Amino acid sequence: MTRDRFFAETPFFTEEHVPLAEGVADFVAREIEPRADGEGRDEDEHFREMLDLLAQSGLLGYAVAAGGDAQPLDTRALCLVREALAYSSAMADLAFVMQGLGTYAVKLAAPEHVREFWLERARSGKSIAAFALTEPEAGSDVSSIQTTARRDGEAYVIDGRKCFISNAGVADFYTVFARTGTRADGRAELSAFIVGARMPGFRVRSRTRLIAPHPIGEIEFENLRVPAENRVGAEGDGFRLAMRTMDTFRASVGAAACGMARRALDESIAYAKSRKQFGVPLALHQLIQEKLAVMQTELDAARLLVYRAAHLRDAGSPHGPSLTRAASEAKLYATEAAGRIIDEAVQIHGGQGLVRGQPVERLYRDVRALRIYEGTSEIQKLVIAREMLRE
């Protein structure tokens, strides 16, 4: 990983963030990069190896904060860690962020004894977390969730299924969103619950193979009884908790995209300097220079949007763009720009860019999902326009 001056040259960071960025970069180069290529490996095994490394390093504490609103997550630290991890390994980035995604609602609203138990286990890597929202008929349209939870004495009985759940099959517990009623406008009243993977009535229906290694699949609940104390927040708080989770972590998806794009750019510069065509290095051809210039400019713009959004969230500033709009702009632009940058990196590498296992080939597969999960690019545009019209 090349030394990066961005964190020292931009105004979004505190004195603690710059050494953190440098320390994470050193850790990634030393521990993650030698293990980044998972070609031919069992993806669950690869995931657990990355999670163990992150737990030993103490970095999981930047994804899993202490409980309650009084101790907010450091969004800038979350983003810079994701960017550094994604530079080398999408699997390490996934292992890191899922501990946060799967516990953020728990941090905000679970009963104190339940909250502290699961947050400590997630921070230490003793338990693997997952976030279970999406269903076969409810992706972007959360109001269409069909999984139900009905009160039965001191428990809730959950029935239904979820799909495209990251960490399905490896997670020890899931933050599950289920319908507990219907609002006056006909939309679902959602509530959140902590469901352990060993609870009777829980099963993994299937594992899903994606274009890049990623533990993900479909889970099912059949007459699953969960103690009422495992409800996160009050009945009906589920939608609010899901959206707060998305708002908090959305900019960090852009940070992961920036990490992938930065790696693609570094690989492209190195290749263009060493590869000769027509008697001179590729880097001396003006069309290659044009590609590199646009790639660098798009990367800089993406990083500025990402860390502006993270800075606004950490500052809690009521001024300037709304936090929701800033996060959606960051996610939209950074993921779309990363796709373009990595595509150009493959083009610069020519045939070598298509060889299985080459860094830019791996990045080409890894980056595609970022424009879909945690809100598609199309949904981000709708969010941005909605927030603009409200201002």
Q: Which residues are catalytic?
A: 374
DSSP-assigned letters across all residues of 57-68: HTGGGGTSPPSS
- Please name the amino acid found at residue 147: T
Going by C-alpha positions, the residue among 59, 71, 160 that lies closest to residue 115 is: 71
Buried b (16+ CB within 10 A) or exposed e, 250-288: bbbbbbbbbbbbbbbbbbbbebbeeeeeeeeebbeeeeb
- Please name the amino acid found at residue 292: L
Helices (H), 178-285: 238-274
Structure tokens at 17: 């963030």
| CA 182 – CA 194 distance, rounded (Å) | 21
> Are 383 and 314 spatial neighbours (Cβ–Cβ below 8 Å)?
no
> Are 391 and 263 spatial neighbours (Cβ–Cβ below 8 Å)?
no
Estimate to the nearest angstrom the gap between the alpha carbon of 197 and the chain centroid: 22
Nearby residues of 227 by Cβ (< 8 Å), 6 or more positions away: 154, 155
> Are 135 and 179 spatial neighbours (Cβ–Cβ below 8 Å)?
no
Estimate to the nearest angstrom the gap between the alpha carbon of 17 and the chain centroid: 20
Q: How many C-beta atoms surround the C-beta of residue 42 within 10 A?
A: 11
